[in-house]
Structure 1
Amino acid sequence: MSNTSDGRVIVTGAGGYLGPHVVTALADLGHDVVAVMRPGSAAPLDDRATVEESDILSADFSPTHWADASAVVHLAWKDGFQHNSPAHMEQLSAHYRLLTGIAAAGVPRIVALGTMHEVGYWEGAITAATPTNPRSQYGIAKDALRRALPFALPESTSLAWARAYYIYGDDRRSNSIFRKLLEAADERRTEFPFTTGKNLYDFIRVEDLGRQLAALTDAIDIEGTVNCSTGEPKSLAAQVEDFIAEHGLDITLEYGAFPDRPYDSPGVWGDAATIHEVMQRHG
């Protein structure tokens, strides 16, 4: 099995919601981790990481000083929780420039974070071959980058596109419904307006996703789109009710207060066969 074990790994977007968990997971595997963050970021990071503050999407940034790295995990992305932010398309070329520059510098492995929103409306399991028809600026930009990179990177660079699903955990640092529930509890609200909650999603804890991405970084022979998920669909209502019970929140959901979003599938999840195989390699 080919891998990048014990090498120097660069993590962009290390100060974001997912970044600290990927940094810790990579350090746990024995990597020398360089956590790249925007200047002035105060995100909590594993003490084992070396911090680099850089504006990696600026036109004058060069990744040539990463040439000795065994891999780059590219998580950086502005406004990931704002699906129609203009930043997605405005910064697309900068992401392309960065990743092609990393490959040109000679880095042999790139793991780039994707999203289920690349696919758009779909019912059932998503595989690597599922056709994409994104319905948001976020999904369009991510899918455009995913499609373009295989044509732009040299054969000497192995690329894994890690397609993520519904991430939760570390909820105070997220912008999800789970953070909103905690904030409602802080305000001593006992009712929370909700949708029908019937939609099925693939929920994964942020720590587990961090470990999947770390393992995928090592699996240099695994290329292309990889679903980083559990592969197990669960209704939003069941997940939220479990969250309320787990945290002991005195909150009742007001089902049907909000309509379900028209672009959400009644049920969608990732085919996790490949990532499960990758995780088995790490025992």
Structure 2
Amino acid sequence: MKVLVTGATGFVGRHLVAALLARGCVVRAVARNAETAQGMPWINDVEFVAADIHAPELDIAALTDGIDVLAHLAWPGLPNYRALFHFEHNLMADYRFIKRAVEAGVKQVLVTGTCFEYGMQSGPLSEQAEPQPSNPYGLAKHTLHLFLQNLAQENPFTLQWARLFYLHGEGQNPNSLLAALDRAIDAGDATFNMSAGEQLRDFLPIRNAADFLCAIVQQRDFSGVINCASGHPISVRTLVEQRVRERGASINLNLGHYPYPTHEPMAFWAVVDRLEQLLETQRTR
């Protein structure tokens, strides 16, 4: 199987490329910055293309030549979820890119969506829950999904929409919770400022997420929405305390220093029955 991965040097992309290679896939990796790509451990094992996928002059037919699956991860502007840029630029630029890829002959497309498509809904969230996006990022992703569903009616292709929840691990945004905690521990800080930490979230190590995305890509007969998450809620405070213990640190947690974010509910996590069924199907084949 030959997979075209966009956003290949991003947080998710760099791990997905590694996971695909480990499973024997041939990978054409695309990213804008060739210098960043040269630092990737897999750079000599892939066909790398330095390109801006949103550039109108991009030769999509050449980029997708011989490709079985497009794994589309690229999405500029994160982690600013409230920026209008998401639907003023990314939405239509992404739609045009994927449409051109499908018209060039790509028959299977995996796109990473987001838990923010569910909006402010609380509790366990299954794929059957009606999307109610409440920030520009979630709105743009949900609208792209709707656009692609309609495109598939006119020009049939397999559309796999993987909703990512909270990922952590190597390459994560340096301002994300665990990265900031690790930096504070490394610096020998006495105190780590955080919220009260009682919010429940669905956290998943990035390497697990990459393996799940690989499994979805290789399940050629699967289409539709699928939550890519652990399915196990954990409080932010518990997650932080676990990391402190893992690091053998004695840093003091300054709970309540930051208010709770207003763009997400206090408690939500993924229902992963569909993911577990897909993984079980793949194991028994």
Please indicate, yes or no, whether the TM-score normalized by the shorter chain is above 0.5.
yes
Offset, 1:223: 1.1
1:217 equivalent to 2:217? Answer: yes
User: 1:40–1:67: structure 2 CA closer, same or farther, 3 Å change rule?
Assistant: closer
1:19 equivalent to 2:13? Answer: yes
User: 1:246–1:171: structure 2 CA closer, same or farther, 3 Å change rule?
Assistant: farther
> Which letter does structure 1 place at the counterpart of 2:104?
A
Offset, 1:62: 3.2
Q: Judge conservation of contact 1:67–1:102 (CA < 8 Å) in 2.
A: no
Q: Deviations over 1:102-134 (max 9, x none)?
A: 111111110000110111101111111211222
Measured in 2, the distance between the counterparts of 1:26 and 1:41 equals: 22
Worse-superposed segment, 259-268 or 30-39:
259-268
Q: Which runs of 5+ in 1 are unaligned?
A: 1-6
After TM superposition, the structure 1 = structure 2 runs for residues 198-209 of structure 1, keeping only pairs within 5 Å, are: 198-209=198-209
Measured in 1, the distance between the counterparts of 2:7 and 2:265 equals: 29
> Which letter does structure 2 place at the counterpart of 1:79?
G
Q: Deviations over 1:171-208 (max 9, x none)?
A: 56554111111222233211111111111111100000
After TM superposition, the structure 1 = structure 2 runs for residues 115-126 of structure 1, keeping only pairs within 5 Å, are: 115-126=114-125
Q: Deviations over 1:139-191 (max 9, x none)?
A: 11111101211001255310011000000111565541111112222332111
Match for residue 149 of structure 2? 150
Q: Judge conservation of contact 1:73–1:112 (CA < 8 Å) in 2.
A: yes
Q: Deviations over 1:9-41 (max 9, x none)?
A: 000000101111100111111110111111334
Match for residue 87 of structure 1? 85
Q: Judge conservation of contact 1:10–1:73 (CA < 8 Å) in 2.
A: yes
Offset, 1:86: 3.6
Measured in 2, the distance between the counterparts of 1:99 and 1:161 equals: 13
> Which letter does structure 2 place at the counterpart of 1:23?
V
Match for residue 66 of structure 2? 68
> Which letter does structure 2 place at the counterpart of 1:8?
K
Measured in 1, the distance between the counterparts of 2:212 and 2:232 equals: 15
Q: Judge conservation of contact 1:62–1:101 (CA < 8 Å) in 2.
A: no
Measured in 1, the distance between the counterparts of 2:84 and 2:263 equals: 19
Match for residue 247 of structure 2? 247
Q: Secondary structure, in 3 states, of the residue corresponding to 1:253?
A: strand
Match for residue 77 of structure 1? 75
1:178 equivalent to 2:178? Answer: yes
User: How many percent of aligned residue pairs carry the same amino acid?
Assistant: 28
Offset, 1:256: 1.1
Q: Judge conservation of contact 2:120–2:133 (CA < 8 Å) in 1.
A: yes
> Which letter does structure 1 place at the counterpart of 2:69?
A
Match for residue 188 of structure 1? 188
1:161 equivalent to 2:161? Answer: yes
TM-score, length-scaled by structure 2: 0.92
Offset, 1:52: 1.0
Measured in 2, the distance between the counterparts of 1:48 and 1:86 equals: 37
Measured in 2, the distance between the counterparts of 1:264 and 1:171 equals: 24
After TM superposition, the structure 1 = structure 2 runs for residues 266-281 of structure 1, keeping only pairs within 5 Å, are: 266-281=266-281
User: 1:106–1:54: structure 2 CA closer, same or farther, 3 Å change rule?
Assistant: same
Q: Judge conservation of contact 1:13–1:77 (CA < 8 Å) in 2.
A: yes
> Which letter does structure 2 place at the counterpart of 1:29?
R
Offset, 1:262: 2.7
> Which letter does structure 2 place at the counterpart of 1:151?
N
User: 1:172–1:159: structure 2 CA closer, same or farther, 3 Å change rule?
Assistant: closer
Match for residue 256 of structure 2? 256
Q: Judge conservation of contact 1:171–1:178 (CA < 8 Å) in 2.
A: no
Measured in 1, the distance between the counterparts of 2:86 and 2:134 equals: 13
Task: Please tell me the root mean square deviation across aligned C-alpha atoms, in Å.
Answer: 1.6
Which protein is richer in helix relative to its size?
2
Q: Judge conservation of contact 1:118–1:132 (CA < 8 Å) in 2.
A: yes
Offset, 1:263: 3.1
Measured in 2, the distance between the counterparts of 1:165 and 1:174 equals: 18
> Which letter does structure 2 place at the counterpart of 1:78?
P
Q: Judge conservation of contact 2:6–2:72 (CA < 8 Å) in 1.
A: yes
TM-score, length-scaled by structure 1: 0.92
Q: How many residues align?
A: 277
Offset, 1:68: 1.9
